[in-house]
Amino acid sequence: MLRPHAKINLGLRVLGIRSDSYHEIRTRFQTVDLRDEMDIRLTPRELDLRVEGAHLAGDRSNLVVKAAEALREARGGLPGARIRLVKAIPLAAGLGGGSSDAAATLLGLERLWGLDLDPGELRRIAARLGADVPFFLQGGTALGEGRGDEIRPLPDLAPCGICLILAPFESSTADVYRRWDLLPPVSRPGVEAPEAALPDPSRGESRQTVRNDLQDVVFAAHPELRHYWELLYDAGAEAASVSGSGPSLFGLFPSREAARAFRDSRDWEPYRVVECARVGREEYLARVGLGPGPDRGTS
């Protein structure tokens, strides 16, 4: 059983538009223990995907199928696979659910098919599938540069409580970046030089360290989100932000007990509040099903 995890962005700076029309960004990724489940079994030739828990097609429009086909293009004569995906990470929420599923597919099939790919080749295949996919090959806390696909491991985030506020609507990453592009340069947040010192996540986070340049764009499109962001700080969160291009919000609390107290403080409908914890790199690889530990293995 594979367990693809969600991520949050501990800050996201938009540095500009690249020559390939993508955006140059600088962000810190962090895996959290909200996760999907995936079961993969060999078949003689066909690729078959069944999705439960979300209205997602199981055809070539799905990143899971695209990931499997990308591996078969890289290595000829491979068998097929029957994949069952149970979704818990919400769609188009800024939590990387589709990218995480794609990375888990690459890791699971790479081992199930006995490919023994060079890590660099696997990263290149992942980057072609999506900017966040390379991060989910390793998880934990990491710096993402370029399109977000150039990954460098960072020290683990300090222990804390995390609450995710999940909105009852989706957000289009492409639309959020288009809105950012339309901002007059004077209205865009100032960006530090790329070589500026990174916050040390092992020392905890603050309002400054989780600054997301896309947040005001997301709030302009969905003003009600600002209210929930303020509630996180009012309840004692040490840091709170939109994750990625939203609409999900996260708050980092001094303890899991404080995060649970926020979760249980009211009826959040139609929103949903999930209390969770950060997942470090070694724990992530074990829990996703590819490292040492009780969860190791692919069905």
The residues assigned a catalytic role are 7, 132
CA dist., res. 47 & res. 289, Å (int)? 21
CA atoms within a 13 Å half-sphere pointing along the CA-CB vector of 113: 24
Query: What's at 24, amino acid-wise?
Result: E
Strands 37-43 and 5-17: unpaired
Query: 8-38: string of b/e by CB count within 10 Å (b at 16+)?
Result: bbbbbbbbeeeeeeebbbbbbbbbbbbbbbb
Specify whether the CB–CB gap between 281 and 266 falls below 8 A: no
CA dist., res. 28 & res. 141, Å (int)? 7
Q: Specify the DSSP element, H or E, that contains 142.
A: strand 141-145
CA distances from 262 to 122, 162, 287 (A): 40, 10, 26
- Spatial CB neighbours of 101, under 8 Å, sequence gap ≥ 6: 4, 36, 38, 63, 64, 85
Give phi and psi for 83, each to the nearest 5: -115, 130
